[in-house]
């Protein structure tokens, strides 16, 4: 990835104002901040806090649980217009990208580019993307990317490299954007949105704009406790429906519709063999969070300073305020970024309340310049030869 391209794309972001103009609802937001509850406990930034598993597998229980149709998967086809495979030959990746472009009648449309958190996929933004498209009537596009070893992004190598360090993830993200928008002079004005681990990626990619529920201080404090917290998660599930049900029942995701869209992509069938044709559990985590432990510190160390140093407008959206680290607390008091708290949500706030998140992001977008979006020729629709 050339420094020239990054500089050109950073210039697009630099067009956003450093100091946000005051809004009419500023006083209302201040009142909300005084009355809201806390961020989730340890685990913030690395995925949802582990909840007591209501469906934790009893090792002596042989009877499998029948799938509950109330938690059956929902197709994302009504939430994104396109599902694309973006080839990154230099990185040995074939990346899944979900995309709703701006309407053709509005050539000046901006594109919001979203990066998910650890263990999830681009479909965690599906409901929010639909809400944004409906709210702006297609003036603004939304793109969501499956990161390496997540979702339907696959390695083109025989054995997939394990490396999920922040530098690798940032280069993957930047290469996807460069492939989709190959000419930085003709590219759209992009608003980068990252949730949790994704917030670290977008902040380091081009000086990210919008970060969802990740704070360096609380994430780093959580690291020593993560293995204990992950022990509360099931090893797997009898069905996709059970995986969805677990996330909803434990309030890991509080919006059943969003869970039915996003969770099928975070589990996969267990490997079978002639000696083990019926594995138990039948579905396992596609990206076991425990396997990503060597990279946790790289994801979050220095995140606050990188966020505050970005030469662009910045937005931090949280589920609560009490876990702001000292650096961000000082930055907030100095007015260096806009902060919004969304009540009644957990760590997966963009899934829990996609309508409110869409309103926040659209309001942020409407203050900023809009340019033309162009799609590169190296992308094929899923199923195209």
CA distance 170 to 102: 25
pLDDT score for 310: 85
Q: Half-sphere exposure of 35 toward its Cβ, with a 13 Å CA cutoff?
A: 7
Sign for the CA dihedral angle at 170, 173, 176, 178 comes to: negative
Question: Residue 201 has which token pair?
Answer: 């990626």
Q: Which residue has the tokens 């690291």?
A: 223
> Digits of tens for pLDDT over the chain (385 positions)?
455 566 556 655 545 555 444 444 444 333 333 322 233 343 345 555 555 555 444 444 557 888 999 999 999 999 999 999 999 999 999 999 999 999 876 656 789 999 999 999 999 999 999 999 999 998 899 999 999 999 999 999 988 778 999 999 999 999 999 999 888 777 788 899 999 999 999 999 876 689 999 999 988 988 888 888 888 899 999 999 999 999 999 999 999 999 999 999 999 999 876 777 788 889 999 999 999 999 999 999 999 999 998 888 899 999 987 668 889 999 999 999 999 999 999 999 999 999 999 999 999 998 765 433 333 344 444 544 3
CA distance 161 to 16: 37
Active-site residue list: 196, 213, 347
What tens digit of pLDDT does each residue of 76-126 get? 999 999 999 999 999 999 999 999 999 876 656 789 999 999 999 999 999
Q: What CATH architecture is 3-24+82-318+338-381?
A: 3-Layer(aba) Sandwich (3.40)
The answer to whether 209 and 36 are in contact (CB under 8 A) is: no
The answer to whether 112 and 193 are in contact (CB under 8 A) is: yes
Cβ neighbours around 189 below 10 Å, total: 20
Question: Residue 244 has which token pair?
Answer: 């969805």
Cα angle vertex 160, ends 154, 165, to 5°? 95
pTM for this one?
0.83
To the nearest 10°, the Cα dihedral for 263, 150, 377, 383? -60
- The DSSP annotation for 304-323 comes to HHHHHH-SS--EEEES-STT
- The DSSP annotation for 67-81 comes to P-GGG----GGGT-S
pLDDT score for 45: 53
Of 151, 149, 179, nearest to 165 by C-alpha is: 149
What tens digit of pLDDT does each residue of 29-69 get? 333 333 222 333 433 455 555 555 554 444 445 578 889 99
| CA distances for 295 relative to 17, 224, 300, 313, 326, angstroms | 33, 13, 9, 28, 24
Sign for the CA dihedral angle at 333, 337, 338, 341 comes to: negative
């Amino acid at each position: 990835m050339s420094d020239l391209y990054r500089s050109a794309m950073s210039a697009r972001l630099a067009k956003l104002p450093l100091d946000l103009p005051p809004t009419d609802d500023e006083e209302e937001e201040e009142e909300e901040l005084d009355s809201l509850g806390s961020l989730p406990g340890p685990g913030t930034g690395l995925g949802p806090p582990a909840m007591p598993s209501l469906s934790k597998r009893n090792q002596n229980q042989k009877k499998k649980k029948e799938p509950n149709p109330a938690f059956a998967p929902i197709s994302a086809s009504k939430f994104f217009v396109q599902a694309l495979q973006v080839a990154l030959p230099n990185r040995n990746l074939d990346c899944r990208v979900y995309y709703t472009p701006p309407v053709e009648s509005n050539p000046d449309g901006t594109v919001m580019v979203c990066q998910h958190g650890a263990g999830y996929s681009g479909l965690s933004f599906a409901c929010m993307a639909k809400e944004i498209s409906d709210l702006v009537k297609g003036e603004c596009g939304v793109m969501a990317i499956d990161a390496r070893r997540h979702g339907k992004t696959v390695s083109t190598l025989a054995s997939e490299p394990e490396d999920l360090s922040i530098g690798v993830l940032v280069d993957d993200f930047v290469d996807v954007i460069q492939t989709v928008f190959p000419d930085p002079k003709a590219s759209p004005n992009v608003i980068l949105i990252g949730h949790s681990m994704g917030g670290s990626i977008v902040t380091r990619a081009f000086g990210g704009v919008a970060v969802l529920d990740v704070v360096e201080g609380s994430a780093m404090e959580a690291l020593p406790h993560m293995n204990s917290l992950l022990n509360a998660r099931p090893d797997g599930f009898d069905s996709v429906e059970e995986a969805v049900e677990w996330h909803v029942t434990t309030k890991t995701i509080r919006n059943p519709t969003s869970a039915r869209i996003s969770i099928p992509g975070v589990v996969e069938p267990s490997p079978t063999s002639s000696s083990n044709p019926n594995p138990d559990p039948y579905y396992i985590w596609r990206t076991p969070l425990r396997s990503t432990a060597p990279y946790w510190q790289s994801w979050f160390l220095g995140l606050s300073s990188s966020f505050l140093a970005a030469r662009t407008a910045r937005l931090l959206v949280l589920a609560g305020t009490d876990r702001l680290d000292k650096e961000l607390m000082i930055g907030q008091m100095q007015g260096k970024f806009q902060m919004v708290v969304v009540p009644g949500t957990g760590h997966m706030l963009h899934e829990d309340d996609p309508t409110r998140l869409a309103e926040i992001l659209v309001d942020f977008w409407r203050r900023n310049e809009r340019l033309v979006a162009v799609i590169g020729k190296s992308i094929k629709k899923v199923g195209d030869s």
